[in-house]
């Protein structure tokens, strides 16, 4: 029984739970056993409170027995990236800075998942403060890609993608500032959605770059993403950037929206540096949509070449400001033996932060500093306007854009030691964050070496239902999502 | 935009309240030099008359009712404090 549970979707598990062929307690026990069996190799979990998960499972079983199921997520174990607050549980952001931090409150998404009956379980590894594209920047050490343990799972939500792909949990949440949900989803062969900026509350998310950060789900299927998004989306007075958008029944919409759609292929996303196997898989996906009657149109996003630079100015500037709160005073790591208050800040930060976080704080501080603000930060904000306009112009002609998620499949652990080389992993995902758009990565094939490939669908603001329907149409006709790594 | 990046690491590290070792300084100077060199191409973009974007979907004037809400207990608020005494956070002496 247990072996078949690991790779089941929320939808499949929900049916078993509803039919009383499975209890949440049995499911959580099976997941704990699975983690114990494989996580020594995958290393997706920073920590896990199994007793708490079993207590939540018992409560879920009691609700179901009393006829008070809270819906499709009732009894489903959901793992959270270790940047999302769960009251009474550690929140480390995979940093020494927060090694001993315990969240005093729940993030809004945590409350919403609990209210939906989900079992919130596990603190999943990531790049430190979500800064990276390989999960190698974690103070806990890297996570491995379940498809090839010598390779990275992507990042920064690498633990969220790897835990799911390895069958250690049934769905996860990640956060996406420049591709941190979609790129690891692509590299691990799962579905990952970055919602429109403002659709999901950021309250209780350890902030990296506030104008770009969004929380979103990683799941086995598009239907599961629809279920998870329905649970976590919605206006939150605790997040002043949260939007008052209408939240549809995303799963029901999957059946109603059948296309055909007008799909744009941005020519700038198919240039030099794109792995041939990735290009071939995406071409086949394009051919599939064409065969479905969709209109395929080449479009141009002329400022694409400036996305990376714009992103690294804006994201590091915001990070340098957000991470100023880690000063060794009220919480987090405090250095011993500092000379005075200011020295305490500098020493605590020196000891608490890893190299990539320090680099970004330095870069962000520099681009905001007197004499450089206009040349770097203000200019980047203006180019951001142009990047956003590119997308909005394209949407006059097409309903969505279709691109590779990542220019390359999973690379070897330690292969990319140069920061700039790692930043280039995000070239197809960062424009979406700058423009605030929703985008989804879904499995669209494997390389000859057996590594997963991701297809990215970029949608219009607050039209996740269309995006999910497009992805669902593809998924229904392919079986990539039914393949799993052997561990 | 400066023709050549003139990143004064000592100055910026001081602004960032971040103590760097000599090895970190040397490494960051080289790595961030590469990044800044890459970033220089933004100078080529014509941004005349373009408004800056701070948020993709700006929401302005978000008001909250001015009513007291339940907050953290003192114990919960201090739980993560590195040093505390008598319900207060201990810090190094600030005034001589």
**CATH code for position B26:** 1.10.20
> Are B16 and A329 in contact (CB < 8 Å)?
no
Range of the domain at B3: 1-47
Q: Which CATH architecture has domain A2-263+398-440+459-482?
A: Alpha-Beta Complex (3.90)
Chain length of chain A:
487
**Contacts with A358 from chain B: Cβ below 8 Å:** 18, 20, 24, 28
CA distances, A256 to each of A249, A250, A399, A468, B41 (Å): 11, 10, 16, 11, 45
Nearest CA among A206, A177, A162, A194 for reference residue A484 = A162
Task: Using DSSP bridges, classify how beta strands A439-446 and A77-81 pair: parallel, antiparallel or unpaired.
Answer: unpaired
Q: Where are the domains of chain A?
A: 2-263+398-440+459-482
State the pLDDT at residue B1. Answer: 38
State the pLDDT at residue B4. Answer: 43
Please indicate whether residue A43 is annotated as part of the active site.
no
Please indicate whether residue A180 is annotated as part of the active site.
yes
Residue B60: inside a domain: no
Residues 37-66 of A with CB under 8 A from B: none
Residue B10: inside a domain: yes
The pTM assigned to this predicted structure is 0.97
Helix axis angle for A222-232 and A108-115, nearest 10°, is: 110
Residue A214 contacts B, CB cutoff 8 Å: no
Measure CB to CB from residue A320 to each of B16, B27, B34 and give the nearest one: B16
Task: Output the tens digit of pLDDT for each of chain A's 487 residues.
Answer: 455 899 999 999 999 999 999 999 999 999 999 999 999 999 999 999 999 999 999 999 999 999 999 999 999 999 999 999 999 999 999 999 999 999 999 999 999 999 999 999 999 999 999 999 999 999 999 999 999 999 999 999 999 999 999 999 999 999 999 999 999 999 999 999 999 999 999 999 999 999 999 999 999 999 999 999 999 999 999 999 999 989 999 999 999 988 899 999 999 999 888 999 999 999 999 999 999 999 999 999 999 999 999 999 999 999 999 999 999 999 999 999 899 999 999 999 999 999 999 999 999 999 999 999 999 999 999 999 999 999 999 999 999 999 999 999 999 999 998 888 888 889 999 999 999 999 999 999 999 999 999 999 999 999 999 999 999 999 999 999 999 999 9
Q: Could you give the percent of chain A with pLDDT greater than 70? A: 99
The total of other beta-carbon atoms located within 10 Å of residue A43's CB is 23
d(CA A7, CA A482): 8
Please indicate whether residue A112 is annotated as part of the active site.
no
Residues 136-195 of A with CB under 8 A from B: none
Q: Into how many domains does chain B fold?
A: 1
- Residue A344: CB partners within 8 Å, gap ≥ 6? A327, A328, A329, A334, A335, A338, B91, B92
Active-site annotation holder among A94, A157, A180, A348:
A180
**Contacts with B28 from chain A: Cβ below 8 Å:** 358-359, 362
Sign, CA torsion A131/A132/A133/A139: negative
> Are A344 and B91 in contact (CB < 8 Å)?
yes
Q: What is the mean pLDDT of chain A?
A: 96
- Contact yes or no for A169/A77 (Cβ under 8 A): yes
Residue B94: inside a domain: no
Q: Which ipTM was obtained for this model?
A: 0.93
The total of other beta-carbon atoms located within 10 Å of residue A416's CB is 19
> Are A306 and B56 in contact (CB < 8 Å)?
no
Identify the closest residue of chain A to B1 by CA–CA distance. Answer: A375
**Contacts with A435 from chain B: Cβ below 8 Å:** 56
């Amino acid at each position: 029984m247990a072996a078949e549970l690991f790779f089941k979707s929320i939808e499949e598990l929900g049916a078993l739970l509803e039919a009383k062929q499975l209890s949440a307690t049995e499911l959580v026990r099976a997941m704990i056993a699975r983690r114990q069996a494989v996580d020594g190799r995958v290393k997706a979990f920073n920590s896990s409170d199994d007793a708490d998960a079993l207590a939540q499972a018992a409560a879920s079983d009691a609700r179901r027995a009393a006829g008070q199921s809270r819906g499709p997520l009732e009894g489903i174990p959901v793992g959270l990236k270790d940047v999302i607050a769960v009251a009474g549980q550690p929140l480390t952001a995979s940093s020494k800075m927060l090694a001993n931090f315990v969240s005093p409150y729940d993030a809004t998404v945590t409350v919403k998942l609990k209210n939906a009956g989900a079992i919130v379980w596990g603190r999943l590894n990531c790049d430190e403060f979500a800064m990276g594209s390989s999960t190698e920047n974690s103070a806990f050490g890297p996570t491995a890609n379940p498809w090839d343990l010598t390779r990275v799972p992507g990042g920064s939500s690498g633990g969220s993608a790897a835990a799911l792909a390895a069958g250690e949990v049934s769905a996860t949440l990640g956060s996406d500032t420049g591709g941190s949900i979609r790129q690891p989803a692509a590299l691990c062969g799962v579905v990952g959605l970055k919602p429109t900026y403002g659709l999901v509350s950021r309250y209780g998310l350890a902030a990296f770059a506030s104008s770009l950060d969004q929380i979103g789900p990683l799941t086995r299927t598009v239907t599961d993403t629809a279920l998870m998004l329905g649970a976590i989306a919605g206006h939150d007075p605790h997040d002043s950037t949260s939007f008052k958008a209408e939240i549809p029944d995303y799963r029901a919409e999957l059946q109603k929206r059948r296309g055909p759609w007008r799909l744009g292929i941005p020519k700038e996303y198919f240039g030099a540096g794109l792995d041939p196997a990735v290009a071939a898989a995406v071409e086949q996906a394009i051919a599939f949509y064409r065969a479905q009657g969709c209109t395929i149109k080449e479009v141009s996003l002329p400022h694409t070449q400036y996305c990376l630079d714009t992103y690294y100015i804006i994201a590091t500037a915001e990070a340098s400001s957000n991470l100023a709160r880690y000063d060794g005073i009220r919480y987090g790591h405090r250095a011993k033996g500092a000379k005075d208050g200011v020295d305490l800040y500098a020493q605590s930060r020196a000891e608490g932060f890893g190299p990539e976080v320090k680099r970004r704080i330095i870069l962000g501080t520099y681009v905001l500093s007197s004499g450089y603000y206009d040349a770097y930060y203000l200019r980047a904000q203006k180019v951001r306007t142009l990047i956003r306009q590119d997308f909005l112009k394209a949407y006059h002609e097409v309903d969505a854009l279709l691109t590779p998620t990542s220019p390359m499949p999973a690379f070897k652990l330690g292969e990319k030691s140069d920061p700039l080389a790692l930043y280039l992993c995000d070239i197809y995902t960062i424009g979406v964050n700058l423009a605030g758009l929703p985008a989804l990565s879904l499995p669209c094939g494997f390389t000859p070496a057996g590594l997963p490939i991701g297809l990215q669908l970029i949608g219009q603001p607050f039209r996740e239902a269309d995006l999910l329907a497009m992805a669902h149409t593809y998924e229904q006709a392919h079986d990539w999502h039914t393949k799993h790594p052997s561990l | 935009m400066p023709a050549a990046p003139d990143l004064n690491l000592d100055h910026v590290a001081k602004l960032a309240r971040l103590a760097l070792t000599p090895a970190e300084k040397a490494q960051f100077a080289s790595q961030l030099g590469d990044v800044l060199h890459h970033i220089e191409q933004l100078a080529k973009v014509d941004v005349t008359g373009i408004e800056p974007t701070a948020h993709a979907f700006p929401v302005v004037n978000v008001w909250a009712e001015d009513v007291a809400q339940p907050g953290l207990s003192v114990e919960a608020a201090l739980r993560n404090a590195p040093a505390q005494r008598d319900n207060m956070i201990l810090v190094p002496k600030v005034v001589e």
